[in-house]
Structure formats: structure tokens, C-alpha cells
Amino acid sequence: MEATVRLFRVLANRSRIRVLRLLTVLGEQHVLAVADALGCPVNTVSWHLSQLAATGLVRRRRSGVMVYYRIAEAPTDIVVRESLKLLAEAFRPVKSRKPSSVASADQRQSQHHRDDALFALFTAFTHVRRLQILRHLSQRGSATAPDLCEELQMSIPAAIRHLGKLESRDIVVRSRVGTFVVHRLVTDRLPHASRLVRAVVSNVRQVTPRP
């Protein structure tokens, strides 16, 4: 579960989304070219690329003194794979071949594919508590906030805060059953990201809860 959190903490960064757009649209690039396209210091871009490489999103190769990066081909991790598929779909409308234009492009054909929307989606999975909630709801079907607090040993304010973030991303919905407010997981409410949500849920369900 911690690996999934690390992955999405790397993805939930607007500069790294720009880097991924550049590599997705233009293919393999060396560090200096990426830094020039983003207008950022080389050491900053190198750090972003190392973070992306550490999670398996990109691959690197060295040729002499130059280091090149490219999008990972067919990664084995299902969450990494679905994340890259989602990004490829989001970046498809970019037609420019000018590196600086690609890096700064913001997809306006669909509100779901804008950088801010991608960033918001990725932040849904950047906390272990939210992944624990997703696992619990996927196993039990639904739960009240007090149920979650008891099962996950979480405070009410924390449960409400994490549920609120998941609800704002359309991953969890609430309904009233009698006098109770019940929360339920949904994996098909985001047509542009349903496969990614299902991959995350499948991944966290395989993790054995700590005693």
C-alpha cells in the first residue's frame, strides 16, 4: 500500500505531469532538452525524472555523458500501467511538436484531461488512510463513518476529511439509510479514469491489513 501512495505522490505534481506529457508526446528526451522545454534548472528536472524513474513510470539510459528518459513500455505493475494509459489518453490532443509548447500545453478538449483535473485525481490516492478506506468499502460494500473509525482505528475528523476528498473525486458516494449516512465505493463514475480506480482498488485489496 505504501508503494501505491509513493506512486501517486510522485504523479500528483504539476511539474512532473508536464514532464510526462513531454515524454509521452515527443518520445525519449535527454535531461537538458527536458529542462530547456520546461524552463527549469537542470538539477530540478533531473530530480523530477529520478522520482518518476523510481516508481517505474519512466526508464532511463546513459549514452556517454548524456542521460535519456522515456515512458516505460508495458510496465508489470497494473497501477503504473493504468496511470500511463490515462496520461496517454489525456495527452493525445496535443499536436505540437515544439518541446516548450508541449510542456506548457493544457488539454482543453475535456475538463477531465486538464492538468488540474489529473492532479486532483492523483491526490485521491496519496494517503494510506484513503487507501484503507477504499479497501474497507470494496470488501464490505458500504460503511458509516463511525464504522470506519472503529475498523481502521481512525478519529471521526480524520474519517470525515478523507471521505470528503474521495467524495469530491467521485470515487465514494454517500446516501442516507434511515438515520445513518452510508458511504459506498464506486468505480465507474469516472469514465476517463474508471480503469485506474479499479486497478487501485484491486491493488489495495491484495494487501493484508496490519494487526
- For residues 12 and 109, give the distance between their C-alpha atoms in angstroms, rounded to a whole number: 21
**Residue 52 has what DSSP assignment?**
H
The answer to the question of residue 210 being in a domain is no
Residue 109: the pLDDT is 55
Residue 208: the pLDDT is 61
Residue 92: the pLDDT is 92
CATH number assigned to the domain comprising residue 167: 1.10.10.10
Q: Looking at 68, 96, 123, which one is the last position of a domain?
A: 123
The parent domain of residue 195 ranges over: 128-205
Spatial strand order of the sheet with 180-185 comes to 142-143, 180-185, 172-177
The answer to the question of residue 195 being in a domain is yes
Residue 90: the pLDDT is 93
Same domain as 76, residue 25: yes
Residue 211: the pLDDT is 47
Segment 117-176, tens digit of pLDDT: 999 999 999 999 999 999 999 999 999 999 999 999 999 999 999 999 999 999 999 998
CA 143 from centre of chain: 25
Residue 177: the pLDDT is 86
The residue ranges of the chain whose pLDDT is under 50 are 211
- For residues 200 and 63, give the distance between their C-alpha atoms in angstroms, rounded to a whole number: 36
Same domain as 55, residue 132: no
- For residues 71 and 29, give the distance between their C-alpha atoms in angstroms, rounded to a whole number: 10
Same domain as 81, residue 19: yes
Helix (H) or strand (E) holding 68: strand 66-71
Same domain as 117, residue 134: no
